Every structure is written in C-alpha cells, then in structure tokens.
Amino acid sequence: MSAGFPSGSRSPILPGATIGFLGGGQLGRMTALAARSMGYDIQVLDPEAACATRPVASRTITAKFDDVNAAVDLASQCDVITLEIEQIHPDVLDAVAARTTLHPGREAVYIIQDRIRQKQWLKANDFPLGAFVAAQSADDIADAVRTHGPCIAKSTHGGYDGRGQVRLSNVDQAKDAWTALGGHPCVVEQRIDIAYEISVLVARSASGQVAVYPPSRNHHTSGILTWAVVPAVISDAMTQRAQHLARGVAERIGIVGLLAVECFVTKDNTLLVNELAPRPHNTYHHSERGLATSQFEQLVRAVCDLPLGDTTAFAPSAIVNLLGDVWVQDTPPAMEHALEVDGVRLHLYGKAGARAGRKMGHLSAIGTSAQDALGRVLESYRRLSPATTGSFDVHEPVLAHITS
Ligand code: ATP
Ligand code: MG
C-alpha cells in the first residue's frame, strides 16, 4: 500500500551522493548494501571499529554515540545522515542537523529513545497501550505490581532483545528488580495476555509520501525475536486496524525514514502498541525476499526523497534469527546443511565473536503460504544446528501459532 504523492516538489538526493549512518550494526550493513546497489556512497560512525557496516562503507569513524566532534566530521562529508539505532545523544543529533540533512529528525528520535517519554507521548496522542507506570523507586515498582498484577520492569534507555527487563510476579520482587535495573527510573508494564504479536512498518519520505507494509507476524522467545512471517495470517479487519494505527503514529510523530510499530493482540482481540523503532526492524528482514521493496531500499528512498517503492507481498516470506547460541565456541553451525532446503537464503552479518543472545545472522525463505515459508526456515534452522534446536520449538507447536 503506497499512497499519496504530496503536493509540492521533491528535492531528491540522487545516486552518487553520500549517505552517512549513525550506527554500523547489521541494520546499517543491510541498508548500506541496498544503498550501494542504488549507486550511493556510504560512511558510518560506530563505537566498534570492526562494526558490521565497515566492509560496505568508504569511511568508518570509530566513536561513541555522544561524540559531537566525530558526528560533525561525519556530517561534513555526507549529503544526508540516517540512523540504525535510536540511542544517539540529542547533542549529536543537533550537531548533525545543523550541518547536513538528518532523517529521521531529532524530535521523533528523542521521543522514541526513552521508554517513558515514548509511552507518555503515545498515551497523550490517544494511541492504545497496555497499563504502565513510570517508576522512580523500588516502592513505585511495588505499587505497580500491587495495582496491575504480574508486570515487566524495563530500563528507559538502551534495552534491546529483552535486555534491561525484569519480570515480576509479586510485590516482594520489586527491590531486586530496582537493583537489577541499576537503580534508575524505569517503566513498569502490566504483563499482557498476548494472543499473538505483529508489527507494521511504515515508510515516510522527506516530502511526505507514505507507504505502509503488510503486517508481520512475530514470535519471541525470552524477549528475543525468533521468527517473523508475512502474511501475518490475521483477519482483514485486524490488518486494516493495525495499518491504520501504524500510519497514524508515523504521521503524528513526523517520521522521515522508517517507523516500525510493534503491537500485541490480546486474547479478546484488543490491539495495543508495544513499542516504536525509527529505523529498519528485525521483523521486516523478510521484506528482502517476499515484498516488492525491501525495508533497506525503502529507507534509502525515504531519506533521499525518492518515490517510495511498492510494499505489496508477491510471495509469502519468513525469517528465523541466528543467535550466537548456535555457534559452539566460535565454530559456526553447519551453514551448508541449512542451505539444503529449497527457497532458503543465508544472511550473515560478519560479526566476530559469537555470544549467547547476539544476533549473528538470519535465514530467510519464500514459500507458497505463510506456513510453508516458515516451515522452510525452521527446517533449515533445524538442519543447521540439530543440537540446539531444542532452544525453541521449531515444529508443530510454533506452526500452530499461525493457523489460528
Ligand atoms: P526488541 O529490541 O527485540 O524489540 P526489547 O528489548 O525492546 O526488544 P520489548 O519489545 O519491550 O523488548 O519486549 C520484547 C518481547 O517481550 C515482546 O515482543 C514480548 O514478546 C515480550 N513482552 C514485552 N513486554 C511485554 C508485556 N508488557 N506483556 C507481555 N509480554 C511482553
Ligand atoms: Mg521490541
């Protein structure tokens, strides 16, 4: 669904120009590959010298995300700057925006990068959310559990892949949770009785054109994304509600680039926003396979103010994440066996040092249906690492999720 060329003229940043990335992880790498194939040059800033985007970039600046001088250096050589991580210091965003074009802009990133600020903004703008409390102390956490029952306390900054989160079932756990989160203010969310999880990706270009992707159906294990599939196998009514919601959030927050809206659907069919991400998203890696325009190419189009690409699904597609857990003492799993399955492709991020929970790559597949595409990536995963497939249910129990 791509719609609505805005009035007014575009001022596109054309191939041959240089795109700068704040953040050089796998999202930057895959976006940079798409940008390269469209004829753009790439520069990147990341705290890790050997970051995943480095091999794709002409220049890598090794600096932290609060290093204003380094960001100014990046900006001095780039026609437009985007980001693949939201934890960029606001001073860096300001310094970049003062020197070159920055998309997405400071305001959207500033709202999203703090969980409390993000939730308060969503609430103030009447978007549907589960119950939450902004806790300033262990007592606040205890009160939240008393009021809302089982909860999850989440750090305001820097949490990802379920890190910086503590689950609480009773009031007695509040003190430990406060300590585990470093004694900083946190968000305490009521634990939602989730029927299933979806996300919707929205692209918005600098001149205001909007494109909304079909929802992705997502499965997490211990707070980390395990697999994602399109189509989501949900009702047309839920598809429309979710797309309408995501588009509304993207327009209200004024994103330029990509906005992923992660959602919960409860057992009584209530649609709630979980969280927002102003960048490419793990749940849309299948867009490289089954959707007419990958999220990575779409980000390039959006920030360069080119016409947005078609978001239609031309084939069901799925991904399964490869975490460091399936590397045994730095020995990679059997990639050659994973590729025995028809329709499967391997995507590795070039990261040295496989650690438990670290995203090292993913497998993708297209198929004749959501179940078929998902079945292929899960079968491929099983062949890649028979010893570790017990870490999550790869067969019927998981597939059953999407037949309901
Ligand atoms: P990521 O970076 O992968 O998006 P994250 O660390 O930001 O993850 P969340 O998105 O907040 O973490 O949570 C990860 C997962 O944990 C969710 O997708 C969901 O499966 C579960 N979860 C989070 N919050 C809740 C909640 N309030 N109730 C029930 N489950 C939840
Ligand atoms: Mg999340």
Is the separation of the CB atoms in 239 and 167 below 8 Å?
no
Whole-number Å distance between alpha carbons of 319 and 275? 21
Tokens of 343: 């329709």
Minimum-distance ligand 1 atom for the alpha carbon of 275: 10
State the pLDDT at residue 158. Answer: 75
Residue 1 has pLDDT above 60, yes or no: no
Residue 314 has pLDDT above 50, yes or no: yes
Residue 1 CB coordination number (10 Å): 13
State the pLDDT at residue 163. Answer: 80
Report how far ligand 1's centroid is from the alpha carbon of 4 (Å).
Answer: 33
Q: Does 276 contact ligand 1 (Cβ within 6 A)?
A: no
Q: How far apart are the first and last CA of the chain?
A: 25
What is the three-class DSSP state of 51?
coil
State the pLDDT at residue 328. Answer: 84
User: CA–CA distance from 50 to each of 6, 29, 91, 206, 349 (Å)?
Assistant: 41, 12, 25, 31, 11
Residue 397 has pLDDT above 60, yes or no: no
Residue ranges for the known binding site for ATP are 115, 154, 159-165, 189-192, 197, 220, 274-275
Report how far ligand 1's centroid is from the alpha carbon of 68 (Å).
Answer: 31
Q: Does 262 contact ligand 1 (Cβ within 6 A)?
A: yes
Minimum-distance ligand 1 atom for the alpha carbon of 218: 18
State the pLDDT at residue 191. Answer: 97
Report how far ligand 2's centroid is from the alpha carbon of 263 (Å).
Answer: 9
- Give CATH 3.30.1490.20 domain extents, the chain: 131-190
Tell me the CATH number for domain 18-112: 3.40.50.20
User: CA–CA distance from 280 to each of 137, 193, 286, 289, 303 (Å)?
Assistant: 34, 27, 12, 15, 12
Those residues whose beta carbon sits under 5 angstroms from the ion ligand 2 are 262
Q: Does 251 contact ligand 1 (Cβ within 6 A)?
A: no
Does the domain formed by 131-190 have CATH 1.10.3720.10?
no
Q: Does 128 contact ligand 1 (Cβ within 6 A)?
A: no
- Pick from 237, 239, 259: nearest CA to 249: 259
Higher pLDDT, 258 or 223: 258
Is the separation of the CB atoms in 213 and 198 below 8 Å?
no
Pick the CATH number of 194-391 from 3.30.470.20, 3.30.420.40, 3.50.50.60, 1.20.1250.20: 3.30.470.20
Residue 43 falls in which region: left (phi positive, over 0), alpha (psi -120 to 50) or beta: beta
Strand partners of residue 255: none
Burial class of residue 335 in the structure, from the number of CB atoms within 10 Å of its CB (0-12 exposed, 13-18 middle, 19+ buried): middle
For a substitution probing ligand 1, which of 119, 133, 220 has the most ligand atoms within 8 Å of its CB? 220
Place 2 in a pLDDT band, splitting at 50, 70 and 90: very low
Token look-up 């490289």 returns 288
Residue 197 has pLDDT above 90, yes or no: yes
What is the three-class DSSP state of 340?
coil
pLDDT > 70: percent of the chain: 94
- Pick from 110, 184, 180: nearest CA to 140: 184
Mean pLDDT over residues 267-273, rounded? 96
Ligand 1: which residue has its CA nearest to atom 14? 223
Residue 42 has pLDDT above 80, yes or no: yes
Q: Does 79 contact ligand 1 (Cβ within 6 A)?
A: no
State the pLDDT at residue 395. Answer: 45
Whole-number Å distance between alpha carbons of 2 and 254? 17
State the pLDDT at residue 390. Answer: 53
Mean pLDDT over residues 264-291, rounded? 97
Report how far ligand 2's centroid is from the alpha carbon of 237 (Å).
Answer: 24
State the pLDDT at residue 6. Answer: 52
Residue 403 has pLDDT above 90, yes or no: no
Residue 400 has pLDDT above 70, yes or no: no
pLDDT tens, position by position, 77-121? 999 999 999 999 999 999 999 999 999 999 999 999 999 999 999
Q: Does 341 contact ligand 1 (Cβ within 6 A)?
A: no
Mean pLDDT of the chain: 93
pLDDT tens, position by position, 134-151? 999 999 999 999 999 999
Mean pLDDT over residues 210-238, rounded? 95
Whole-number Å distance between alpha carbons of 223 and 361? 17
User: CA–CA distance from 239 to each of 110, 369, 390 (Å)?
Assistant: 29, 17, 32
Whole-number Å distance between alpha carbons of 125 and 275? 14
- Give CATH 3.30.470.20 domain extents, the chain: 194-391
State the pLDDT at residue 396. Answer: 44
Whole-number Å distance between alpha carbons of 178 and 230? 38
Is the separation of the CB atoms in 22 and 85 below 8 Å?
yes
In sequence order, the 6+-apart residues with CB closer than 8 A to the CB of 192 are 130, 264, 266, 272
DSSP string, 146-173: HHHSSEEEEESSS--TTTTEEEESSGGG
Residue 63 CB coordination number (10 Å): 17
- Give CATH 3.40.50.20 domain extents, the chain: 18-112
Whole-number Å distance between alpha carbons of 243 and 253? 15
